[in-house]
Each structure stands twice: as structure tokens, then as C-alpha cells.
Amino acid sequence: MTMKNESIWNNYLKEKFLELNEDIECDILIIGGGIAGILSAYELSKSNKKIVLVERNKLFSGVTSKMTAKVTILEDILKKISDKDIDKYIKSQLEGLDLLKENILNNNIDCCFKENKSYLFTMKKSNIKKLKNIYEHLKNNKVKVKEANFKFNNIEALFAIEALGYEINPIKYLNGIRDSLTNVLIYENTSVDLVLKDDGIFTVKTNNKHEIKALKIIFATNYPYFLKPLLFPLKVHLEKSYIGYGDTESLNEGFNAINIDKEVHSIRFYNGKMIYLTGSSTISNKVNAIKNFNKIKESPLFKDISNLWSNMDIITNDSLPIIGEVLKDMYIITGFNTWGILSSHVGASLLASLILGKKKNLKYKELFNPKKKINLKKFLNSSLNVYDSINGYLKGLLNKNKMVFYSKDNAMYVAKDGKCYLVKRKCPHLKCNLIFNSVEKTWDCPCHGSRFDLYGNVISGPSKYNIKVKSVK
């Protein structure tokens, strides 16, 4: 079997929309064409507002196309959410699930959505008490949950809980949502270079030299690149995970499962094959991508692997999404802590209510408020990731790879066919030195997570710009 270094969901991406080729005006501009952006457009499309959505690449081709897409209330981040917030967060996820089901039914979307069993478990004695606390909170919120035994190949739980879960093809689902948006203008291959505001009107300058004037803006990007109003770097860090898809030795019933321990084991099935995630870490703590991918390939859970890929997630200090108004008429929806499917639905509904002045669906406004004060204790705990980034960054500089060469200003990858790819070494975002990911063949920023392909095209931000690249014979 030939192994591909790309997500299985890429097979369902459809290129449909042109890039912006003229100056336009709208009531609401959505920047970002992932799950949060398209669902925000869907909720707002129920009004009579003129809505425009722009995506720098192809719709859903960023973080959205790389997620495992588990649909479950049993999320590992429940262990990190405070007792003060956990009940309200659980209610938000239940509401997100209802919205997901409603969207599928109302739009008759064929996205392989079906019920299965879901497990949340621990393999550490020290975490049993935490999991039992989660269990009690779930029961108190009327989630049908029970204690269970969980064992899959070499993974055996000391304590586990079971509830109803679901299987879904996320891109087929979002394609169905996209096709329902008859009154939303969508532009692909259109990135935002600059946002200005004058006399209550935003002027957005794009990479193709055109302008969009808007009364309100939603940033639905994974890592928003307007940082000062939000103090974003003080509230979040990035986490990279490694994912494999293939056949297993064991028979399965189509369940999904995740543990609450430091070493994450995330399992779900699609088309009878397993999607397995592990190796999660801050983006620079383990910069050796080959080591992390080998961990997937050598896992006894797999018999054959057809796909390997990685994903980058925003992790917030309080483990809660960041959704709401940042400045007057400027909104944000991000920070899903690896659990974007249900939170995107709740967040899109919340933003629609805020923007359209509706009183319903505002019950999670304070829970997800971007303007929440920084919790000093949580900030100090998460600031350890700064050390990880510096440590990993230095390791990356010292990492020996006979196919990659670094100079002060440039870096070069030499492919097996002898073709050379020369790039500017500095990330356009904040000038961090780029490191080569030899498995996925990308140039990665070890500081803030920007990624570029061999040809210098930016794959994911916060960088807004491509890097200069040329082929050398």
C-alpha cells in the first residue's frame, strides 16, 4: 500500500469559488473558510444582511481538513475546565450537538453521520479521581453516561466511562452547509493583508490588490493575526498532533475513544478503518517530525497505514474557546482546544445573536468572552510552553538533516531527484527561523505555527504572506 502524507479528508475537498477580482462592499465580512467561518456564514445567512466570506486557500483545507472529527460529549479537556465552568461548557456541547443534527436534517446532508459508542478513559491511577469527577458532572447534566470496561489491543483503561457518540465525514457535512448558502458571496485564494477602520467602516485590503468595505468583521482563522486587542499570545499556545489512518489487527464496532492522560490516545473509525492520534505536544517541544510519525507507524494498533498527517490546534489557558466581540463590530471565533466541531456550532450561533442584536443564544457569552481577564495562575502554568518553544527551537537548529541546508538568510531542501528548493529562512510573521518538516515536506515556524509548502505558499497562519522560493537545478 502506498502511503500518503495527507489527511483522508482531502479527498472530499472541492474547489468551487474564484478569488476576489473587484472591490466590493458588504454588511458582514467573515475571514476564514474553515468550520467556524462557514457555520458563522450559515447562521448569519438567515438574516437579510449581505455577507462575504474570504479564504486564503481552498475552503476547509486548513485545520478543518486535518482534524480527527470525533463527535462526542466525552472530551478530554473536561479534566482541565474549572468546576465553576464545566457544567455550562457541557451544556454548550450538548447544544452544539443538537445544532449539528438539526443542520444535517434540515439540509438533507449525506455525511455518513451515524451513532456509535464513545469512551473517555484513563490508564493512570492518579487520574481516576479526575475522571470520576467528570462522570458526576456529566450525569448532573443529564448525559446518559455509565461506567464501562475499555480495552483495545495494547490500550487498556483502569477506569472508563461510556456514552453515545457519532461518526461523521466532516468535509461532506461542510460541503452540504456550503451548498445551502445561496445568499453568501465566497471567495477562495483571497487573503487579508490589512484591516483599517475609519468612521465606523472597515476597509480590508487583500492580497490581490482589491478592497472589501464592511460594517462588521468576523475573524474565523485558527490563529488570528491581529494580536494587540486580544493579548492573544498571553492566552493561548499551539499544540501539534500526529495522526494516522489505516487497517487494524483488531475487529471493531465503530467506536470513538480518548484518554485524559498526558500521553494522548485518540481513536475513531471511518469506513471501517482507524484514525489514531498521538504525540500531541507544544509546537516546538518535539520538533523531530520523523520521530513522532514513526510512533504512529510503529503502533501495534495498526496493521497497515494509508495516510499520515499532522494538525495544529490553538490551546487556551482555561481550555475554553474564545468567541465574541473583541473591539466594536470586530468579532472572533477560535481556540477550540482540539474540539472544534460542536463548539463551532455553538460559537456561530452566539456570534449571529451578537451581530444581529438577538437576545436568544447569548447564554455562553461570558463563558467564551475574549475579554476575560487573564488568570495569573493559568498564565504562569501555560507560560512553561515558552520554554518548550525555545528549547525545541534550538533543537531544530541543531537537528541534522543531510537533505536540508541553512545559512543566515536562506534555507534549502534537496529532493531525492536532485531538485533544490531555496526559500527565505525567516517567517514573514515575526521573523522566526523556519525548520523543515521532512515527512510532510513543509517549512514550519517553531514559534507561532505558520507553515509553508515547498513552493513557498503559506499553508496556515498566522503569517499572511508567502515566502520567496525558487527552484535551482
**Which tens digit of pLDDT belongs to each residue from 392-419?**
444 444 444 556 766 666 777 777 776 7
Q: Exposed, middle or buried: residue 328 (CB in 10 Å: 0-12, 13-18, 19+)?
A: exposed
Report the top-level CATH class of 400-472.
mainly beta
pLDDT exceeds cutoff 50 at 191: yes
pLDDT tens column, 207-256: 889 999 999 999 998 877 554 555 566 677 788 889 999 999 776 678 99
Q: Give the confidence band of 388 by pLDDT, cuts at 50, 70, 90.
A: very low
Strands (E), 255-375: 256-259, 266-270, 273-282, 302-316, 322-327, 330-334
Distance (Å, whole) CA 39 – CA 96: 11
Distance (Å, whole) CA 169 – CA 109: 11
Instruction: Provide the whole-model pTM.
Output: 0.84
Supply angle C-alpha 386, 389, 393, rounded to 5. 145
pLDDT tens column, 281-326: 665 544 566 777 888 888 899 999 999 998 888 888 899 999 999 9
Residue range 60-84: average pLDDT?
95
pLDDT exceeds cutoff 50 at 265: yes
pLDDT tens column, 196-218: 989 999 999 998 899 999 999 99
Region at 69 (left for phi over 0; alpha for psi -120 to 50; beta for the rest): left
H-only helix segments in 263-374 = 289-297, 340-356
Query: Was domain 9-65+173-231+319-378 assigned CATH 3.50.50.60?
Result: yes
pLDDT exceeds cutoff 80 at 473: no
Distance (Å, whole) CA 208 – CA 409: 27
Ordered by start, the domain boundaries in the chain are 9-65+173-231+319-378, 400-472
